[in-house]
């Protein structure tokens, strides 16, 4: 959306110049995602994680078609809401699927690939929008063709089609298969993922036993998934996942991504679309260190230091805007969406742009991938999809709120908006310090031990994993693993 905001084709065709109308258009997609998130767990638990992702891709394609042919704000909003419904399903189930198939040693890295893929998609789409903005003489031509926004919206169909087709070539989640009592298929998938096809590999047998014991415990408890979410031992984790996803939005990142054009206009920057594109490049590049090192430096430091760094950068931007900015004199109609701007102070404008780049880079290294990883790994298998859907609903709820209100806030409180987001980051840092427990190096089945250790979050947990010990015992012949349904020899 951000790449078309500065084009004459978009503003003239839909008669949008910021404010509530733009907020309604932008917010319709995360609003649809909120409902998609709620529905996702029912689809994923009944039809599998893989099928849920394929359904999400098909729904996204339908929404993209509506957007491409939109003849007014009504159909545009419907299209974005439908596409958002698909995005909500995918954003919930993709990290669940990744967490359930990944080895514990690189689980954070694997789940972070989702965020990396998102940043690449945002970057590619932005440059498609940027290139399309030059249709009919460029974004300032008052007679610019609607192709300037229809081309990028139509292109969205093809990645979703590729996703729907390629998902046929990936396995079902072994933990979902176990939950359906399809144990034979589960062990085969585990063998292919972690044992090079060898079902007798100690690591495969150890994971199988961990999953079997966890499933047995959950079924003996005899609780429905939603009832289990409200139990005291689980409620703390649900609240923590809700807050982590909430703070990731209240950090200000999506307000920055959606409305980067307004931010750059307020900073007194010319050549908006090109300058803004650098931010999207940084978002991709700076996600790479997180993928490489999240399983080394851990989840807790990423969230804590990320929040404090983003807070500092936002306060600096606010101070620069407050000190060197002024009320918008409204002599330029293209700047009517903002009420405060820095004029004729190139050094200050550059400083604000650099701080905004550093802010996006910090989020990409820390909260971007870590917030999705953490929420997807801290719940038991039986309730994971529903728990993550609740947590992701928090993300999309605040995404929707911010998408709707930020255009108005840019007009009403201008630079104070950065102070507000800075304070949110401070609150996030406090909660992370007090509540977030380190999960790196632990299996999904060990999360109960992590969260029920009785130690304060800042004290950490013991290093190492129970799975490593079990794997050694199986390799040494100390522990024997039996299989359900059939004897192991029959499976071979």
Among 274, 291, 307, 234, CA closest to 109: 291
pLDDT tens track for 217-276: 767 655 556 677 888 888 899 999 999 999 999 999 987 877 777 788 888 877 776 777
Residue 406's pLDDT band (cuts 50, 70, 90) = confident
Strand partners, 341: 326
| Confidence check: pLDDT of 483 > 70 | no
Higher pLDDT, 189 or 443: 189
How close are the terminal C-alpha atoms of the chain, in Å? 53
How confident is the model at residue 488, as a pLDDT? 38
For range 287-310, the mean pLDDT: 92
Q: List 327's β-bridge partners, or say none.
A: 340
Residue 484: per-residue pLDDT: 57
Stretch 12-25: mean pLDDT? 79
The pLDDT of 66-85, averaged and rounded, is: 94
Count each helix (H run) and each strand (E run) in the chain, helices first. Answer: 24, 2
Looking at per-residue confidence, does 175 or 5 come out higher? 175
The predicted structure's pLDDT at residue 331: 78
Residue 150, CA atoms < 13 Å, CB-side half-sphere = 15
**Residue at token pair 């709707």:** 404
What's the whole-model pTM score?
Answer: 0.81
Provide the pLDDT for residue 228: 77
Q: Per mean pLDDT, which range of 48-62, 83-97, 409-423 is the poorest?
A: 409-423
How far, in Å, CA of 353 to CA of 309, rounded? 16
Q: What is the mean pLDDT of the chain?
A: 86
Contacts of 50 (CB under 8 A, 6+ apart): 97, 167, 170, 171, 172, 173
Distance (Å) of CA 436 to CA 258, 302, 396: 29, 11, 21
């Amino acid at each position: 959306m951000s790449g078309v905001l500065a084009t004459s084709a978009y503003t003239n065709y839909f008669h949008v110049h910021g404010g509530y109308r733009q907020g309604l258009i932008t917010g319709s997609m995360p609003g649809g995602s909120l409902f998609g998130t709620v529905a996702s767990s029912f689809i994923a638990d009944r039809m599998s994680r893989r099928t849920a992702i394929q359904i999400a891709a098909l729904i996204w394609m339908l929404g993209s078609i509506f957007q491409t042919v939109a003849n007014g704000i009504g159909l545009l909003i419907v299209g974005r809401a439908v596409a958002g419904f698909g995005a909500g399903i995918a954003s919930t189930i993709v990290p669940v699927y990744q967490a359930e198939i990944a080895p514990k040693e690189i689980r954070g890295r694997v789940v972070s690939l989702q965020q990396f893929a998102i940043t690449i998609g945002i970057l590619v789409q932005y440059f498609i929008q940027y290139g399309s903005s030059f249709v009919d003489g460029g974004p300032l031509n008052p007679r610019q063709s609607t192709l300037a926004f229809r081309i990028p919206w139509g292109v969205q169909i093809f990645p979703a089609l590729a996703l729907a087709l390629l998902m046929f070539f990936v396995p079902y989640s072994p933990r979902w298969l176990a939950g359906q009592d399809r144990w034979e298929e589960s062990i085969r998938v585990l063998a292919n993922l972690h044992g090079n096809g060898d079902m007798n590999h100690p690591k495969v047998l150890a994971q199988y036993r961990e999953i079997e014991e966890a499933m047995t415990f959950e079924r003996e408890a005899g609780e429905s998934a939603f009832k289990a979410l409200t139990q005291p031992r689980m409620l703390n984790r649900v609240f923590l996942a809700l807050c982590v996803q909430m703070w990731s939005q209240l950090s200000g990142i999506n307000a920055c991504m959606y409305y980067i054009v307004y931010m750059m206009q307020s900073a007194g920057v010319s050549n908006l679309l090109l300058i803004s594109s650098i931010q999207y490049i940084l978002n991709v590049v700076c996600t790479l260190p997180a993928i490489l090192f999240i399983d080394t430096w851990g989840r807790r430091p990423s969230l804590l230091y990320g929040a404090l760094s983003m807070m500092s950068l936002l306060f600096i931007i606010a101070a620069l805007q407050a000190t060197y900015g002024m009320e918008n004199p409204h002599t330029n109609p293209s700047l009517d969406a903002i009420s405060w701007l820095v004029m004729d102070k190139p050094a200050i404008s550059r400083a604000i742009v650099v701080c905004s780049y550093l802010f996006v880079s910090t989020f990409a290294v820390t909260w971007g991938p870590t917030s999705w990883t953490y929420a997807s790994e801290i719940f038991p298998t039986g309730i994971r999809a529903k728990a993550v859907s609740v947590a992701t609903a928090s993300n999309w709820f605040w995404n929707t709120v911010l998408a709707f209100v930020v255009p108005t806030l840019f007009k009403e409180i201008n630079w104070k908006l950065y102070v507000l987001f800075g304070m949110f980051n401070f609150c996030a840092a406090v909660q992370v310090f007090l509540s977030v427990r380190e999960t790196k190096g632990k299996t999904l089945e060990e999360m109960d031990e992590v969260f029920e250790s009785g130690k304060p979050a800042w004290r950490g947990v013991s290093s190492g994993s129970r799975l490593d010990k079990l794997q050694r015992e199986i390799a040494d012949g100390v522990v024997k693993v039996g299989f359900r349904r059939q004897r192991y020899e029959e499976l071979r």
